[in-house]
């Protein structure tokens, strides 16, 4: 199995679960959306790190169970996929905080109910849009245990609700099967053409202990014969989920639904190597990032096209690993920035970078070359025959951006405007835009050496600067664009114009 993800991960040949290979990720434009708890979130984070087009919104995509995701999707479908909430969809905490918590979302709360309703609807609209655009939808199920309030309403996460106000419930296999089938059916109303992946999270869950007293997990005797023990309950939940997924796939066999064996890989393929996470000392979480990287790497080896795999392998070996070495070994700089080495490095892969639309890698290469003040090589790479198509796309992009930026409607709002990314596109916008310069208040960039400097007389500020609240942000990043976007959407009163 080829290494396609950054970082280290266990590699074993003792047990190998064979999975039928399919070329489902054919370029870095392939749109992926993941649902599930922390394991699904980690999958998304790794996808974004290697440049895949992945979406995950913690408040809306984070679900431990099929039941909570089913409740959210069903609410959308009942209102023709126009998210609409009322005060009844939230719960006022009785802990003296004055906070309302959303019943449908993960950890979404606020003291102002109107603002909370607005947030919920904004998040839901983003998720709906991404489902409509998705090529692959990935659902990781954590358990079959859910929380029900005393008044009968389901809640995604307890999140401050008093123990006396809810009950822990257990779904049957039949319930989960029905919910999975309806989740798929509702998603199909939004998007007729996507591949649906179902998997079981290898994370262990201990609801009773987690919700009452985390410390008791260490004092419980796992040797006693007790069917109420959390380990026994966790394994029962995993068995229910696995049977429900298998039944769903058989009942919907004419559809493109695939079971990916995340749980099976961790429990058996990694049985000699898997240990608990050292970062989260709760005896529940798998070893991050090694275990999750192994699972993700196997997924990519199975479902990426050969072209995408070659590009990912190149990115890992020739850029990520070499940059780490460069930081550790000062003399390595002398070998990594030689013109001939750069040409030999890029020449075999340049066609594939264009074919798979790996703009983030091309941009990364430009930054490496520019760092060593080799602008001529940058120009040659940009305009040689292999990169003509990229150059053409860039011109189209710039014209498209200028059309958006120079629209008078953009400036009829009582908001400050910022450009995110003090790079090449920002320079072109500032040079060519007729309307932007008089209205721009600053440029946002995370590079410490740029902060406090000026680009065409416009000051570059940090992403943490408080002035960016209640503003319009024009996102111009080629690299890390999706990661920054997902962070910005959490900021209050921000309007984002994503030009890429």
What tokens were used for 193? 């053409």
So what's the pLDDT on residue 338? 40
Q: What is the dihedral of CA 428, 429, 433, 438, to 10 degrees?
A: -120
DSSP string, 225-290: --TTSHHHHHHHHHHHHHHHHHHHHHHTTTS-EEE--HHHIIIIITTTT--B-SSS-SS-SB-TTH
Tokens (6 digits) for 442? 């600053």
pLDDT for res 213: 42
* Per-residue pLDDT tens listing for the chain (500 residues): 778 887 665 555 677 889 999 999 999 889 999 999 888 888 898 898 888 989 998 888 899 899 999 999 999 999 999 999 999 999 999 988 999 999 999 989 999 999 999 999 989 998 999 999 999 999 999 999 999 999 999 998 877 889 899 999 999 999 999 999 999 999 999 999 999 999 999 888 776 555 544 433 333 333 344 456 777 888 899 999 999 999 999 999 989 999 999 999 988 888 777 665 555 555 566 666 678 888 999 999 999 999 999 999 888 877 776 666 666 555 555 544 444 555 566 666 777 776 787 777 776 666 665 555 554 554 454 444 344 444 445 555 556 555 655 555 555 556 778 888 888 778 777 766 655 556 678 899 888 888 888 887 788 998 877 777 777 888 877 656 566 766 676 665 677 776 65
- Model-wide pTM > 0.75: no
For residues 127, 131, 137, 142, the Cα torsion angle rounded to the nearest 10 degrees is 30
pLDDT at 3: 83
The per-residue pLDDT for 385 is 39
311-344 core/surface letters (b: 16 or more CB in 10 A; e: else): bbebbbebbbebeeebeeeeeeeeebbeeeebee
Edge-first strand listing for the sheet containing 195-200: 53-55, 31-35, 136-141, 195-200, 257-259
pLDDT of residue 4: 83
């Amino acid at each position: 199995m080829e290494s396609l993800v950054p970082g280290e991960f266990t590699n074993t040949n003792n047990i190998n679960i064979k999975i039928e290979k399919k070329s489902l990720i054919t370029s870095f434009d392939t749109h992926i959306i993941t649902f599930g708890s922390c394991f699904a979130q980690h999958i998304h984070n790794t996808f974004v790190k290697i440049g895949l087009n992945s979406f995950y919104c913690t408040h809306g995509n984070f679900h431990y169970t099929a039941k909570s995701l089913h409740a959210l999707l069903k609410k959308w479908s009942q209102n023709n996929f126009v998210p609409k909430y009322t005060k009844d969809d939230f719960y006022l905490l009785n802990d003296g905080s004055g906070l309302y918590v959303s019943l449908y979302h993960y950890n979404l709360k606020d003291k102002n109910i109107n603002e909370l309703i607005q947030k919920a609807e904004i998040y839901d609209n983003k998720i709906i849009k991404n489902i409509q655009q998705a090529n692959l939808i990935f659902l990781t199920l954590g358990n079959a245990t859910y929380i029900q309030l005393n008044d009968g309403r389901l809640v995604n996460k307890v999140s401050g609700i008093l123990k006396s106000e809810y009950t822990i419930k257990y779904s049957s296999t039949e319930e989960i099967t029905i919910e999975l089938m309806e989740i798929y059916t509702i998603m199909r109303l939004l998007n007729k053409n996507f591949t649906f992946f179902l998997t079981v999270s290898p994370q262990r869950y201990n609801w009773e202990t987690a919700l009452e007293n985390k410390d008791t997990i260490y004092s419980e005797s796992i040797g006693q014969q007790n069917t109420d023990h959390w380990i026994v309950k966790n394994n029962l939940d995993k068995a229910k989920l696995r049977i429900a997924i298998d039944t769903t796939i058989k009942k919907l066999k004419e559809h493109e639904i695939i079971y990916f064996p995340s749980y099976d890989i961790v429990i058996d393929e990694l049985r000699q190597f898997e240990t608990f996470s050292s970062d989260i000392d709760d005896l529940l979480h798998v070893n991050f990032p090694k275990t999750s990287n192994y699972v993700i790497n196997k997924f990519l080896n199975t479902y990426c096209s050969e072209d995408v795999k070659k590009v990912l392998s190149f990115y890992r070996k020739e850029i990520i690993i070499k940059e780490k070495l460069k930081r550790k070994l000062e003399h390595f700089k002398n070998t990594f920035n030689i013109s001939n080495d750069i040409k030999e490095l890029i020449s075999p892969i340049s066609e594939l970078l264009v074919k798979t639309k790996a703009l983030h890698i091309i941009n990364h290469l430009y930054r490496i070359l520019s760092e060593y003040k080799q602008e001529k090589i940058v120009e040659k790479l940009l305009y040689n025959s292999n990169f003509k198509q990229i150059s053409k796309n860039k011109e189209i992009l710039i014209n498209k951006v200028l059309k958006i930026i120079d629209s008078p409607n953009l400036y009829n709002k009582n908001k400050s405007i910022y450009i995110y990314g003090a790079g090449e596109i920002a320079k072109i916008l500032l040079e060519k835009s007729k309307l932007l310069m008089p209205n721009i208040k600053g440029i946002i960039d995370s590079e410490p050496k740029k902060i406090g400097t000026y680009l065409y007389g416009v000051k570059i500020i940090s992403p943490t600067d408080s002035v960016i609240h209640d503003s319009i942000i024009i996102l111009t990043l080629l690299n890390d664009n999706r990661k920054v976007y997902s962070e910005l959407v959490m900021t209050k009163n921000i309007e984002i114009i994503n030009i890429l």
